[in-house]
Amino acid sequence: MNAVAGIFVGGRGERMGGAAKGLLAGPDGRPIIESLRDMLTGLGLEVVLVGRDPRYDALRLQAVDDEPGGIGPLGGLIGLLRHAGDRLAMAIACDMPFVDAPLVGRLLGAPPAPVVAPRRGSLWEPLFARYEPAKVLTAARARASGGQRSLQGLLDDVEAREFPLSEEEWPRLRDWDTPSDRST
């Protein structure tokens, strides 16, 4: 498939005591990021890290810098979209240990739209989403230069399409933000 998957590793993991969340052992006993990498490459995607953290160097994956740095996930998304060029870009958080190939495949195969992402109520899930760089990069850069860092606002601005999930699929997007998340 002509797409790139960016695994976002730039967060500080403060609520996890500063842990590199992608290196936490997932349900299969392996680091979450290794399981994600293997699943995504198995689907034929180029996999890159979004953000730089030397704790991930042993993975030997290309890292894409935030553009600009210091503005949170929007900077990472801009870097990923620029790197993807004319390919589809998939954004995924490094702390989602339950995402699986069927769900990713369904997202990648969704009908064309600038962004396709799950939505619960009024909130998008921008770090499990598919982006068309040519339709989103300019808007993302404009938001960044205007001091607007919200990915929620970006998805609203570009008229993202909702990716419907069943009640059985929603738990696959559960992330690990705090130590108690790992026990549920």
CATH classification at residue 25: 3.90.550.10
Check pLDDT > 50 for residue 84: yes
- Which amino acid does the sequence have at 72? G
Query: How far is the C-alpha of 173 from the C-alpha of 35, rounded, in Å?
Result: 15
- In the numeric block, which tokens belong to residue 46? 């180029």
Check pLDDT > 80 for residue 11: no
pLDDT-based confidence at 16, cuts 50/70/90? very low
Per-residue confidence (pLDDT) for residue 182, from 0 to 100:
54
Query: How far is the C-alpha of 104 from the C-alpha of 12, rounded, in Å?
Result: 25
The answer for residues whose C-beta is within 8 angstroms of residue 58's C-beta and 6 or more apart is none
Per-residue confidence (pLDDT) for residue 175, from 0 to 100:
85
Per-residue confidence (pLDDT) for residue 119, from 0 to 100:
96
State pLDDT tens for residues 28-79.
999 999 999 999 999 999 999 999 889 999 999 999 999 999 999 999 999 9
Query: How far is the C-alpha of 118 from the C-alpha of 130, rounded, in Å?
Result: 10
Query: How far is the C-alpha of 115 from the C-alpha of 133, rounded, in Å?
Result: 9
Check pLDDT > 50 for residue 118: yes
Query: How far is the C-alpha of 20 from the C-alpha of 83, rounded, in Å?
Result: 23
Closest CA to 82 of 43, 137, 2: 137
Ramachandran sector of residue 39 (left: φ over 0; alpha: ψ -120 to 50; beta: rest): alpha
The verdict on whether omega for the bond into residue 126 sits within 30 degrees of 0, i.e. cis, is: no
pTM, entire model: 0.92
158: containing domain: 3-183
The number of folded domains in the chain is 1
Query: How far is the C-alpha of 126 from the C-alpha of 55, rounded, in Å?
Result: 24
Query: Looking at residues 3-11, what average pLDDT do you find?
Result: 89
pLDDT-based confidence at 135, cuts 50/70/90? very high
Per-residue confidence (pLDDT) for residue 14, from 0 to 100:
54
Q: How far apart are the first and last CA of the chain?
A: 34
DSSP state of 30: S
Check pLDDT > 80 for residue 141: yes
